[in-house]
Structures are given as structure tokens and as C-alpha cells.
Amino acid sequence: MSDSADTEILDIADLDQEAWQDYAIEQGWSDGLPLVMPTEASVARMVAAAHGDNEGFAAISPRQVVPTMASLAANAVMAGAKPAYFPTILAGLRGILDPSYNLHGSMATTHSCAPMVMINGPLRQALGVNCSSNCFGQGWRANAGIGRAIQLILLNVGGGKPGVMDRSTQGSPAKYAFCFGENEEESPWLPFHVRRGFAPEDSVVTVMSGEAPHNINDHGSTSAEGLMTTFAHTIAQPGANTVYGKGPYMVVVGPEHAATFHRDGWGVDKLRDELWLRARIPLKHISEENLATYVATGHKPTGDFLTICRGPEDIHISMAGGPGKHSAFIPSFGGTAVVSTRVKLPSAGA
């Protein structure tokens, strides 16, 4: 491995806040929002929070360079993250760098996908990750800082410059930060990470290259059956990337909807099975030209419908949000996977 043309430490003129922001934007480092200056001291504090994590990182697409702990930490500092968030940020990045996530494809695509980051386990509460009301929205430093740090890493180390290497036609607000926690405390089901084989006491970051959440509004249904009608028909849409039928999707059930499903005896497996059978796109909703392109790549109709994933195992159910009759559908990019990675907590002496 050899150094790239850049150097890790930059000696720059003394800058006040305003001049720093201008400088950082000129360098192409910003997502458009102000950045915290990554001084050597602040970066060192961030790196110290990952003490004992000596596992290397793969090269980050599309630029194909290998990050250092300091360059990753610099992005976390710039994002406004606290040092305590850093191990969670690194776990999220490791998931994104898993080959099955297909970072290169998800960066070069014209699709609006962004890294969805979901956190499970005790770190949610320790870090103050919002899992309840407005969990996809603004207002929580942990959600914003972790999600934004990952985005800045992909921009600055990965080289995903919008309009150049990031070819998204319209982009998405989710590209600023898309991070939330599962509301394990109010969920009637086992936590997402436990269902994936992790221990309840593990803290786990799950990532998927996905669209911003699509709302599922159902105030009237009083049964699981009624809710499923709304869920299935909201999810079976011809304009999401799930139309290609080759990747996963996530359904984030709100707590009141989850309570209704649970009361009627519907667990996660039942939800997945019913969505697999019912969340299919009627062929009459798909143009002939589009259908021809899908068939040409091997995605053929099942009866009068087009399936939107490969089977129930592609359907991922979690629970988040606060009071209200809303849930969310998060379609994936398509050629991606849902990857869960355990957070490595700093070793003693850090």
C-alpha cells in the first residue's frame, strides 16, 4: 500500500469560523451544511474512542482508496459527532463496505438511494439515539451525527461527489443523514438484531442502500387484516426500485400498528409471508415498455402480478416511531443487501 497524492495532515492558514466554512466548501468537503473543523486534537479524541479496533477497512468506492482511522475520524468530527458515536459509525461503515451491500453500484446509480442506518441494542440509549417520535427526522444529535458522518466519509474518502461520481438523478434528503434506532422497548417482537442471531446485549448497526422512507398511513383499520391491505398496496408500487424484484426491502412498523398486528397474533414471519404474497404489482400498473425490459432481464410476471423481491427472506421488519397510526416502507436500491454489524466497543484503557 502506498500513500495517495494527498497528505494526512494539512497545514493551513489560521481561519475564523466563517473563513473555515468557505475553505471547507472550496475543498469539496461539505454536504452544504457547516462543518466542525477537524483539528488534530479533536480527531485524536475521536480516534481514542475506537481504541482497540485494529481491523482494517477495504478501499471505499468509487475512489478506491483505503481510509485511515484518522481520516474517518476527521469526517466524524466535521459531522458534529461525539467521540462516543465513533464505534457505531465504524460498524455502519463496515456494513457498507461488505461486498453484498454493493457500495460501488449504489454510488454510481442514478437512483436516489442513501445508506439507511438502523441501530439496535443498548448503545441506542447510551448514545441518545432516537427510536420513537420523529425517529427519521430532525432533532437528535446522535441520529444526525452518525448518519451524517457516514455520508461525509462516502463523500470525502469514497469520492462520491454529487453530480460527478454520485450520479443520482434527483438525490434525496436521506443523503444528508438517514439514521434511526429500533424502538425495542415498545416492540411486541424480538429486536431486529436478535432475530439476525446477535445477542440482546450486543449493539448492532444494520445498513441497507435504500430510498427515503415512504409513509404508510392507516388510521381506520382496526385489524391486522385491514392493516395488511393498506401495507401491501402501499408497498406494491411500480415506481420504486423494488420493481426489479432483485433485492430486499424494509418495513418499519409504527408502534400502534405493531400492537394491532400483535393483538391479532401476527408475528414477524406472518407479516413477511403475507407481504410476499400480497405486495405484488398488478401488471395493469406497469407500462408495456417497462414490462418488456423487466422480462428481458429475467424478471417475469407471476400470474397477473410482478413480485417485488425474491421471497419472504428479502422482507425485513423492524419497529420504530412514536404514537400515531403511521408506518414506513423503505425500498432498497435493488442490487444490495441488508447487512448487520456488531459495534466494537473501545477496549479498557482507552
Partner 1 sequence: MRIVNPGFGLVPAGAEQATEGKVDWLNDPIVLFGNSKPNARELLEGVKAKLAGIRRTDNIDFIAKNSASQGAPPEMINDTAKKYRIALLALGD
Partner 2 sequence: MVGVVIATETFKPLVLAQAKARKVDPHLIVVKHPVGGLNAEELVERIEAAFSGFQQEMNA
Q: Using the rule CB under 8 A, give the single segment among 75-83, 131-139, 260-268, 342-350 that binds partner 1.
A: 75-83
Angle at 16 between CA 14 and CA 21, to 5 degrees: 105
Among 88, 102, 187, 203, binds partner 1 (CB under 8 A): 102
**150: its cell numbers:** 457516514
Query: Binding partner of residue 165 among partner 2, partner 1, none, CB under 5 to 8 Å per kind?
Result: partner 2
Q: Please state the closest distance from residue 189 (CB atom) to partner 1, in A.
A: 30
Quick check: 311 binds partner 1 (CB under 8 A)?
Answer: no
Site string for partner 2, 142-171 (x = CB under 8 A): -----------------x----xx-x----
Ramachandran sector of residue 227 (left: φ over 0; alpha: ψ -120 to 50; beta: rest)? alpha
- Classified as helix, coil or strand, 47 is helix
Among 9, 26, 201, 265, binds partner 1 (CB under 8 A): 9
**343: its cell numbers:** 459495534
Q: How many CB atoms lie within 10 A of CB 229?
A: 14
Query: Binding partner of residue 121 among partner 2, partner 1, none, CB under 5 to 8 Å per kind?
Result: none
Task: Report the residue number, 4 or 215, with the smaller CB distance to partner 2.
Answer: 4
Quick check: 242 binds partner 1 (CB under 8 A)?
Answer: no
Q: How many CB atoms lie within 10 A of CB 155?
A: 21
Site string for partner 2, 57-86 (x = CB under 8 A): -----xxxx---------------------
Q: DSSP letter string over 282-313?
A: EGGGS-HHHHHHHHHTT---BTTEE-SSSSGG
Quick check: 132 binds partner 1 (CB under 8 A)?
Answer: no
Query: Binding partner of residue 246 among partner 1, partner 2, none, CB under 5 to 8 Å per kind?
Result: partner 1
Quick check: 8 binds partner 1 (CB under 8 A)?
Answer: yes
Query: Binding partner of residue 48 among partner 2, partner 1, none, CB under 5 to 8 Å per kind?
Result: none
Quick check: 233 binds partner 2 (CB under 8 A)?
Answer: no
Among 21, 71, 133, 172, binds partner 1 (CB under 8 A): 71
Task: Report the residue number, 135 or 309, with the smaller CB distance to partner 1.
Answer: 309
Residue with cell 497545514: 11
Q: Which helix (H) or strand (E) holds 306?
A: strand 305-306
- Classified as helix, coil or strand, 92 is helix
Contacts of 32 by beta carbon, 8 Å cutoff, 6+ apart: none
Q: What are phi and psi of 113, to 5 degrees?
A: -65, 150
Quick check: 109 binds partner 1 (CB under 8 A)?
Answer: yes
Q: How many Å separate Cα 46 from the centre of its chain?
A: 22
**Which candidate, 186, 344, 177, places its Cα nearest to that of 252?**
186
Residue with cell 388510521: 219
Query: Binding partner of residue 1 among partner 1, partner 2, none, CB under 5 to 8 Å per kind?
Result: partner 1
With the CA atoms of 149, 171, 293 and 216 taken in that order, what torsion angle do they form, in degrees rounded to the nearest 10?
A: 80
Quick check: 27 binds partner 1 (CB under 8 A)?
Answer: yes
**211: its cell numbers:** 430510498
Site string for partner 2, 96-135 (x = CB under 8 A): ------------x---------------------------
Q: Which helix (H) or strand (E) holds 316?
A: strand 315-319
Q: How many CB atoms lie within 10 A of CB 39?
A: 11
Interface positions with partner 1 (CB under 8 A): 1-4, 6-15, 27, 29, 37-40, 43, 59-60, 63-68, 70-71, 73-75, 77-78, 102, 104-106, 109-111, 152, 156-157, 159, 167, 241, 244, 246-247, 289, 293, 296-298, 333-336
Interface positions with partner 2 (CB under 8 A): 62-65, 108, 159, 164-165, 167
